[in-house]
Amino acid sequence: MLTNKDLQQIEQLGLHENIISRQLDTFIKGIPFTHVVTAASVGNGIEVIGLEDQHRLIDLYDHKREGLDLVKFVPASGAATRMFSFLYKFLDEFNPEEQKLKNFLKSGNHKQLEIFLDSLKEFAFVSAIRKKVKKHFPEYKHGTKGMRAYLFVSLMLGNKGLNFSKLPKGLIPFHKYSKYSTTAFEEQLYEAAFYASSGNEVFTHFTFSKIHLPYFKNEFEGVKNRVSKKTKKKFHVSYSFQDRNTDTVAVTHENKPIRNGNGELIFRPSGHGALLENLNQVDADLIFIKNIDNVASEDSAEHIAFYKKMLAGKLLWLQKKLFNYLEILLSEDFNIETLKDIKSFLWNELNIKNIPESITEITAILNRPLRVCGVVKNTGAPGGGPFWVKNESGNISLQIVELVQIDKNNTHQTSVVNEATHFNPVDIVCGIRDYKGKKFDLSLFSDPEAGLISSKIQNGIPLKILELPGLWNGGMAYWNTAMVEVPLSTFNPVKTVNDLLSKEHRPKL
């Protein structure tokens, strides 16, 4: 399928012909669906920790944290485009010179647009847009309501105005305070001070597209004094980018390589699974993972920190038990009762149901990266969740599974999905060092077969792309895992701009 011109392009991009060929084969053969046995639930893979034990775990973490290397890892490469999808539709379909706005709103399903236009003064970015309006359209106030709405949205998204269409989600103003507004990036920094600080220092790591580096650096320079003054902490921010070597070739729905107008192959980023290598470069005792858009206003920081620290305390408690058992097994100073305790720990605390008899194999299971995942009750939001999964060898394990990994045409599989009680909010605490303090090579604990094939539209062209095993799905397939229920109030993602109207994103002024 590859021409000589394709091979030259692949070489110039620093990619490898064999890898691209394997990707094309994968499109043709397909990726097997994940076989879910049952949804994880409370008492069946998910733990609910009582208030007394929550405080005990938080005390454990607070007691240990000053001697730990802590990092907050924030995937932040998501573009803001999806936030404004109904506004793009508005610009495409509405003609202010020919239509009245009220007639347009009545003509179709424009409820989200109506909410947005009725709530303009509530958004953190409204003042900045109004300044652009005055600059570019001095006659704005004399226009029709439809024309004013059209110009407002145009300046909000377009390069004449705030250019939100080209910005990553992390740099969109989210919250409006009395004297300033904050981006998701700033709120992630502020929140980190409450649970990811050791001493007076906070270390955060953000991943995004390389083209956005100057924007994030500029934002940090603009807000670091403010967050430092408010939290009495010193912030250290590091950045990494998704390696271009992880990009995958796009194909048509007939699995043929797709090319742009210049006849060049189209390559796409391979999803958050490509960030496994970014995470692998971070060396710390504990890593907190949280998506860039899952933030709330400052009023919620202590509430959110309570549960983050509880998860971290749970990890430290599990880790101590793991390390003790490993040292006992490796010293060969154990008896039958100790071995029973270890197997009980694997079964009850780490949800491992296929426990081998071999001491060597048990030792290998104990000596793996550890994660504690916060999960929230399912409210019908789209996305992955915790499931018991059976692999090709018949082994059953607890995994976070994305819905696209499940065969929707299989009635039994869809019934399992419909029984799901909990959702994955990407609220994870990771222990990536072994009992000797040496960092694990995380690539050794991923499932390379657990990728995804998904459909996208680029420049109006439908195409299929191949995504690497998700960072918290196949990328962590062979980690030791515990799932803990946390309140829905700790999960406040911004998927559309109107989500910013919820109370969690409305600071108490």
- The pLDDT, as a whole number, for residue 509 is 63
| Number of domains within the chain | 2
Instruction: Report if residue 306 sits inside a domain.
Output: yes
Instruction: Report if residue 107 sits inside a domain.
Output: yes
Model confidence over 10-63: pLDDT tens digits?
A: 888 888 888 889 889 988 988 889 999 999 999 999 999 999 999 999 999 999
Tokens for 382, please give them: 């789209």
- Say yes or no: 17 and 153 in one domain: no
- Say yes or no: 396 and 487 in one domain: yes
- The pLDDT, as a whole number, for residue 414 is 92
- The pLDDT, as a whole number, for residue 219 is 97
Query: Percent of the chain beyond pLDDT 90?
Result: 72
Instruction: Report if residue 207 sits inside a domain.
Output: no
Burial label for 484, CB within 10 Å (0-12, 13-18, 19+), is buried
* Residue 462 binned pLDDT confidence (cut-offs 50, 70, 90): confident
DSSP label at 51?
H
Q: Which of 29-33, 178-182, 186-190, 278-282 bottoms out in mean pLDDT, i.e. has the lowest?
A: 29-33
- Say yes or no: 28 and 150 in one domain: no
- Say yes or no: 331 and 354 in one domain: yes
With both helix axes pointing from N to C terminus, report the angle between 184-192 and 301-331 in degrees, rounded to the nearest 10: 60
Q: Are 161 and 155 in contact (CB under 8 A)?
A: yes
In a 3-state reduction of DSSP, which class is residue 249?
strand
- Say yes or no: 377 and 415 in one domain: yes
- The pLDDT, as a whole number, for residue 382 is 62
Model confidence at 260: pLDDT above 90: no
- Say yes or no: 372 and 248 in one domain: yes
DSSP secondary structure string for all residues of 34-48: PEEEEE-EETBEEE-
Model confidence over 421-454: pLDDT tens digits?
A: 999 999 999 999 999 999 999 999 999 888 888 8
- The pLDDT, as a whole number, for residue 487 is 97
- Say yes or no: 21 and 118 in one domain: no
Model confidence at 79: pLDDT above 80: no
Range of the domain at 59: 4-79+244-491
- Say yes or no: 14 and 125 in one domain: no
What CATH number has the domain bearing residue 36? Answer: 3.90.550
DSSP secondary structure string for all residues of 189-239: HHHHTTTSEETTEEEEEEE--GGGHHHHHHHHHHHHHHHHHHHT-EEEEEE
Instruction: Report if residue 143 sits inside a domain.
Output: yes
* Dist. CA 417–CA 34, nearest whole Å: 12
Instruction: Report if residue 140 sits inside a domain.
Output: yes
Domain boundary residue among 104, 137, 166?
166
* Dist. CA 107–CA 99, nearest whole Å: 11
Separation of CA 327 from chain center: 35
Q: Which amino acid is at 397?
A: S
- The pLDDT, as a whole number, for residue 210 is 87
Domain boundary residue among 123, 148, 166?
166
Nearest to 362 by CA among 391, 336, 342: 342
Instruction: Report if residue 172 sits inside a domain.
Output: no
Query: Percent of the chain beyond pLDDT 70?
Result: 98
In a 3-state reduction of DSSP, which class is residue 175?
strand
Q: Are 359 and 375 in contact (CB under 8 A)?
A: no
Largest CA distance in the chain: 86
246/356: higher pLDDT: 356
- Say yes or no: 292 and 420 in one domain: yes
Cα distances from 162 to residues 153, 170, 212, 213, in angstroms, run: 10, 14, 15, 18
- Say yes or no: 57 and 156 in one domain: no
Count, in order, helices (H) and strands (E) of the chain.
15, 19
- Say yes or no: 17 and 69 in one domain: yes
Nearest to 400 by CA among 425, 367, 381, 429: 425
The pTM assigned to this predicted structure is 0.92
- Say yes or no: 410 and 447 in one domain: yes
Model confidence over 291-347: pLDDT tens digits?
A: 999 999 999 999 999 999 999 999 999 999 999 999 999 998 889 999 999 999 999
Mean pLDDT over each residue of the chain, to the nearest integer: 92
Model confidence over 101-125: pLDDT tens digits?
A: 999 999 988 999 999 999 999 999 9
* Residue 381 binned pLDDT confidence (cut-offs 50, 70, 90): low
Model confidence at 164: pLDDT above 80: yes
Instruction: Report if residue 225 sits inside a domain.
Output: no
Nearest to 228 by CA among 256, 193, 262: 193
Q: Are 477 and 399 in contact (CB under 8 A)?
A: yes
Domain boundary residue among 136, 166, 196?
166
Model confidence at 202: pLDDT above 70: yes
353/268: higher pLDDT: 353
Instruction: Report if residue 221 sits inside a domain.
Output: no
Q: Are 60 and 313 in contact (CB under 8 A)?
A: yes
- The pLDDT, as a whole number, for residue 322 is 97
DSSP secondary structure string for all residues of 356-413: -S-HHHHHHHHSS-EEEEEEEE--S-SS-EEEEEE-TTS-EEEEEE-GGGS-TT-HHH
* Dist. CA 163–CA 463, nearest whole Å: 26
Neighbours of 21 (CB within 10 A): 14
